């Protein structure tokens, strides 16, 4: 008898409808069996949407603990939060600090501030916030899908990767470049900050798949396919022009396979729903969303709907809760800010890629505009509401944290890495256990990295 592959493919965010792809692998399969399989699969898929088929869940908030801690002072909550941060590996999976590292004279070993320096990450503030480290992001904004622009994106991506490596080398007494969970724990035990590297936006590989191996050799350990606009690999969740590939392209499929082979975690943050479904169907390893939220908690296209959350968890992945206010709340219009941003856009509009020094100045100016016209901020309880929802849908073993700091992230009382323990205190107040928080602060994503690297070892062994 032939084999029928039934894949849960494209779930509409608006209507929750689904498309079943039934791939008949061999001719002559009994047509009655196909009909039965279709019916059973449709029932199962609809049950998943309605939440009727539950995934195995870990521990969530404990009502008894929440009631007990309701009487605690803020000082007591923060004291327990500090103890948790001291005992567990704590990582933020999306730190855009390389954007700031490129500013002339910026020294990550010195303490800065958001108010005075428009900076959210440095080593002294990481220590204050009880953050052991995180993934420093190699990010190049999406530009034209043309040869010269792709070439510049590749050059810039490699430059940023080497900048991170050089920064760690210069401050080797305070930090170490990690590529495995074992290395991360070793640096932490030695009292050093843990620096992983991740890529945001596959634009930095152009159309050259071989560059994934080059980035991996340099130490990169996750690969985000897209940013705010579509690229050669896949569709973005926020490209106003609509889909380009209706998911991932053929190059994107090859990139999934290559990430699996190399042991690169695939990051689905910024990807469209269809892109994310395609990646989940293709990948042999768990995936992450390095900085995303829950669509059910706030309906922004950057956030993930419940069927996607369930499938990411079912595949063993994690979603790292973001603290980017725009993805958490409605923001009131600001005409002066909009005018300043529009003027900035026109100033740097060009048919060809900008020279690197001009591009650095462009980024400095947009940070200045954001400082001059601060957006409305969400708050820590709202972030915690998203965490609650993620845990309810996915289980405690599939949730983590990310600030998206130096890339636009921040909510009231959590505007830089020095304030990380404020989030921990709020989650303690809600009844999360110390073990829960240890998982969400680091061990969950390290488990995924371990599994991704194990899959890569298996795939490579099969080729030998």
**Same domain (yes/no): 38, 156:** no
Q: Is residue 220 part of a domain?
A: yes
**Same domain (yes/no): 139, 273:** yes
Rg of the chain in Å (alpha carbons): 22
**Same domain (yes/no): 127, 151:** yes
How many CB atoms lie under 10 A from the CB of residue 10?
Answer: 16
Average pLDDT value for residue range 418-443:
98
Q: What is the pLDDT of residues 191-236, one digit of tens each?
A: 999 999 999 999 999 999 999 999 999 999 999 999 999 999 999 9
Q: Is residue 55 part of a domain?
A: no
**Same domain (yes/no): 80, 13:** no
Residue 59: its pLDDT value, please? 56
Q: Is residue 183 part of a domain?
A: yes
**Number of structural domains the chain divides into:** 2
Average pLDDT value for residue range 67-94:
97
- Model confidence at 3: pLDDT above 60: no
**Same domain (yes/no): 24, 129:** no
Q: Is residue 356 part of a domain?
A: no
The torsion defined by the Cα of 348, 352, 353 and 355, in degrees rounded to 10, comes to: -80
More confident: 370 or 103:
103
Residue 351: its pLDDT value, please? 62
Report d(CA 440, CA 420) in Å as an integer: 13
Q: Is residue 350 part of a domain?
A: no
- Model confidence at 372: pLDDT above 90: no
- Model confidence at 11: pLDDT above 60: no
Residue 146: its pLDDT value, please? 95
Q: Is residue 428 part of a domain?
A: yes
Range of the domain at 421: 63-331+375-463
- Model confidence at 135: pLDDT above 60: yes
**Same domain (yes/no): 24, 88:** no
CATH number for position 277: 3.20.20.140
- Model confidence at 410: pLDDT above 90: yes
Q: What is the pLDDT of residues 13-72, one digit of tens each?
A: 333 333 333 333 333 333 343 343 333 333 333 433 333 334 445 457 999 999 999 999
**Same domain (yes/no): 224, 274:** yes
- Model confidence at 367: pLDDT above 80: no
Dump the DSSP string for 31-99. HHHHHHHHHHHHHHHHHHHHT-SPPP------HHHHHHHTT--HHHHHHHHHHHHHHS--EEEEE-HHH
**Same domain (yes/no): 186, 232:** yes
Q: What is the pLDDT of residues 325-353, one digit of tens each?
A: 999 999 888 888 889 888 988 888 766 66
Q: With contact defined as beta carbons under 8 Å apart, do 89 and 397 qualify?
A: no
**Same domain (yes/no): 38, 98:** no
**Same domain (yes/no): 297, 155:** yes
Q: What is the pLDDT of residues 227-262, one digit of tens each?
A: 999 999 999 999 999 999 999 999 999 999 999 999
Q: Is residue 340 part of a domain?
A: no
Name the residue among 76, 65, 63, 5 with its Cα closest to residue 34. 5
State how far Cα 33 lies from the chain centre. Answer: 41
Dump the DSSP string for 5-35. EEEE----TTT----EEEEE-STT--HHHHH
Residue 365: its pLDDT value, please? 85
Question: What is the CB-side half-sphere exposure of residue 345 using CA atoms within 13 A?
Answer: 6
Average pLDDT score, the chain:
87
**Same domain (yes/no): 264, 314:** yes
Distances (CA, A) of 76 to 68, 89, 413, 416, 435: 12, 21, 17, 22, 18
**Angle value at C-alpha 388, between 382 and 389, nearest 5 degrees:** 95
DSSP 8-class letter at 412: B
Q: With contact defined as beta carbons under 8 Å apart, do 135 and 177 qualify?
A: no
- Find residue 175's DSSP bridge partners: 193
How many CB atoms lie under 10 A from the CB of residue 107?
Answer: 13
Q: Is residue 151 part of a domain?
A: yes
Name the residue among 140, 128, 311, 293 with its Cα closest to residue 215. 140
pTM for this predicted structure: 0.84
**Same domain (yes/no): 13, 102:** no
């Amino acid at each position: 008898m032939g084999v029928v592959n039934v894949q849960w493919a494209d779930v509409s965010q608006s209507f929750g409808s689904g498309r079943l792809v039934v791939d008949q692998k061999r001719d002559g399969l009994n047509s009655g069996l196909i009909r039965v399989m279709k019916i059973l699969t449709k029932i199962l898929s609809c049950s998943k949407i309605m939440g009727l088929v539950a995934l195995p869940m870990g521990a969530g908030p404990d009502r008894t603990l929440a009631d007990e801690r309701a009487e605690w002072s803020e000082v007591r909550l923060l004291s327990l939060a500090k103890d948790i941060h001291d005992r567990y590996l704590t990582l933020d999976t999306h730190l855009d600090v390389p954007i700031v590292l490129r500013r002339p004279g910026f020294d990550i070993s010195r303490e800065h501030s958001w108010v005075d320096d428009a900076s959210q990450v440095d080593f002294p503030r990481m220590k204050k916030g009880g953050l052991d480290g995180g993934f420093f992001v190699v990010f190049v904004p999406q530009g034209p899908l043309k040869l010269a622009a792709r070439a510049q994106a590749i050059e810039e991506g490699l430059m940023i990767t080497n900048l991170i490596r050089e920064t760690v080398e210069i401050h080797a007494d305070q930090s170490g470049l990690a590529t495995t969970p074992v290395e991360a724990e070793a640096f932490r035990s030695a009292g050093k900050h843990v620096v992983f590297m991740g890529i945001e936006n596959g634009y930095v590989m152009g159309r050259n798949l071989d560059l994934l191996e080059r980035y991996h050799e340099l130490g990169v350990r996750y690969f985000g396919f897209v940013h705010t606009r579509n690229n050669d690999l896949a569709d973005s969740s926020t490209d106003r022009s609509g889909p380009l590939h209706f998911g991932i392209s053929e190059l994107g499929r090859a990139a999934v396979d290559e990430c699996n082979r190399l042991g690169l975690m695939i990051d689905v943050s910024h990807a469209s729903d269809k892109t994310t479904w395609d990646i989940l169907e293709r990948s042999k390893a768990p995936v992450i969303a390095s900085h995303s939220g829950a669509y059910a908690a706030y309906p922004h296209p950057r956030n993930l709907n419940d069927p996607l959350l369930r499938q990411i968890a079912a595949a063993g992945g994690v979603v790292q809760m973001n603290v980017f206010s725009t993805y958490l709340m409605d923001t009131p219009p600001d005409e002066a800010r909009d005018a300043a941003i529009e003027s900035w856009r026109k100033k740097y509009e060009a048919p060809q890629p900008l020279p690197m020094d001009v591009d650095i100045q462009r980024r400095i100016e947009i940070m200045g505009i954001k400082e001059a016209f601060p957006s409305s901020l969400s708050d820590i309880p709202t972030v915690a509401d998203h965490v609650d929802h993620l845990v309810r849908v996915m289980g405690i073993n599939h949730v983590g944290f990310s600030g998206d700091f130096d890339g636009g992230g921040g909510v009231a009382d959590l505007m830089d890495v020095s304030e990380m323990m404020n989030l921990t205190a709020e989650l303690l107040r809600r009844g999360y256990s110390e073990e829960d928080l240890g998982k969400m602060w680091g061990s969950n994503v390290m488990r995924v990295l371990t599994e991704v690297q194990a899959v890569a070892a298996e795939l490579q062994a099969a080729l030998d």
